[in-house]
Amino acid sequence: MMHKKTRALLFSITAILLLFTTATAAGGQENDYFNRGYEKHLQGDIKAAMKDYSAAIEINPRFAMAYQMRGAVWQRMKMYDKAINDFSMVIVFGETYFKAVGYYNRGIVKNMAGDFFGAIPDFNEALNIDKRMVAAYFHRGIAKSRTGDSFGRIQDFREAARLGDVNAEKWLNTYYPTWKQPVASALPQTN
């Protein structure tokens, strides 16, 4: 399940990218549909937002932001296959850092759908593009934990905490209070 802070971070990233995209985009009917859909989305009318995002994509099949937002709607509706498809289109059509958001969001949806092994490569790709994407470390750590990679989980939580993720830091402080020490001495000893 996605934490409220992660959801807020995702929405903030999307809003920033939205402002950049709409500010630099040449006008057009697809932008009108997108902006109308975004307003409806903010108001909680996700079904109406979905129709407008879809109309924007129909006019401009390369409109990465419309795929991003429609993917967020599919995710909220728990229609994970459709969300994964839309986030895949963000990866195909988005600019470099927007691709990182697409990989991250696709990883989140795969985690939500229980495809933890499939989520890890998406988080890896997001981090290859943006090594400071704190939430990707945290959620990759969750996926690693669910695949049995406890050491990987701890390493990712350590990096997330080092970059400022309070949830990772709280978890580490609770279960591995020596986490700030060098790696070998911070891990629990097995006998």
Position 146 pLDDT exceeds 50: yes
Position 188 pLDDT exceeds 90: no
Q: Are 127 and 90 in contact (CB under 8 A)?
A: no
Torsion of CA 111, 116, 118, 119, to 10 degrees: 50
Structural domains in the chain, sorted by start: 27-94 (1.25.40.10), 119-184 (1.25.40)
> Who's near 138: CB < 8 A, 6+ residues apart?
6, 156, 157, 160, 165, 167, 168
- The per-residue pLDDT for range 21-79, each reduced to its tens digit, is 444 444 589 999 999 999 999 999 999 999 999 999 999 999 999 999 999 999 999 99
| Predicted local confidence at residue 127, as pLDDT | 98
Per-residue pLDDT band for 118 (boundaries 50, 70, 90) equals very high
pTM, two decimals, is 0.81
- The per-residue pLDDT for range 127-142, each reduced to its tens digit, is 999 999 999 999 999 9
Indicate if the alpha-carbon torsion angle 181, 182, 187, 191 is positive or negative: negative
| Predicted local confidence at residue 98, as pLDDT | 93
| Predicted local confidence at residue 23, as pLDDT | 41
Question: CA Rg, the chain, in Å?
Answer: 18
Cα–chain-centroid distance for residue 184? 30
> Who's near 40: CB < 8 A, 6+ residues apart?
46, 48, 49, 52
Q: Are 98 and 90 in contact (CB under 8 A)?
A: yes
User: Taking all residues of the chain, what is their mean pLDDT, rounded to a whole number?
Assistant: 88
Position 186 pLDDT exceeds 60: no
Type of residue at 7? R
Q: Torsions phi, psi of 177, nearest 5?
A: -60, -15
Residue 51 DSSP SS3: helix
Per-residue pLDDT band for 19 (boundaries 50, 70, 90) equals very low
